[in-house]
Amino acid sequence: MKNKRVAIINSENKKIISAIKEVLKDKAEILEKDADLTNYDLIVLTGYESNFENNFTNNEVINIHPSLLPAFKEEDAITKSYLSGVKVSGVTIHKVEKEHFFGKILAQYPVLIGLETHLEEFKDDLEKVGARLYPPVIESILNDSVFDFQDLFKNPCNHTNGGCNGNCSSCNH
């Protein structure tokens, strides 16, 4: 991975932030949205930041959204998609553009909503998918490569036979 600086804008999405930090280690810093972002190559949002547009930089900015864009762009996308009756929603990682928040889609992954799925289960499923999807997309950007979905199925923790005792958010042990 090239020596690029990554700023993760702090949010309440601790599971996703933890997964990103686990993969990027000391290459990423967690900052508040009003911090000076000019010296960072990549700005990573972990959800919509209503005031972030006022703090735009010329750097690349990406975000994660809890729906399969372009559906449910608005706030509270999780509840709205759940209550709408759709059977498939998901997670989208996209570029953030100055003109409009939702830019080019970089990756999407579906999450099924079963007949007996409760809203809290759905939220948890979206968060798990986001924690799994976001780190390899970020790595591909930092390596100037195109994200490949096969990267999701690699075992990045290199633990064999459950060597991580199931505590690694990057694997399925």
Tell me the catalytic residues.
65
105-112 and 88-95 beta bridge pairing: antiparallel
Residues in contact with 114: Cβ distance below 8 Å, sequence separation at least 6, in sequence order: none
Order of strands, edge to edge, in the sheet holding 60-65?
28-31, 6-9, 42-44, 60-65, 88-95, 105-112
- Structure token pair of residue 86: 């759709």
42 three-class SS: strand
Q: Where are the alpha helices (DSSP H) in the chain?
A: 14-24, 77-84, 119-142
Q: What are the helix and strand counts (H, E) for the chain? A: 3, 6
The full length of the chain comes to 173
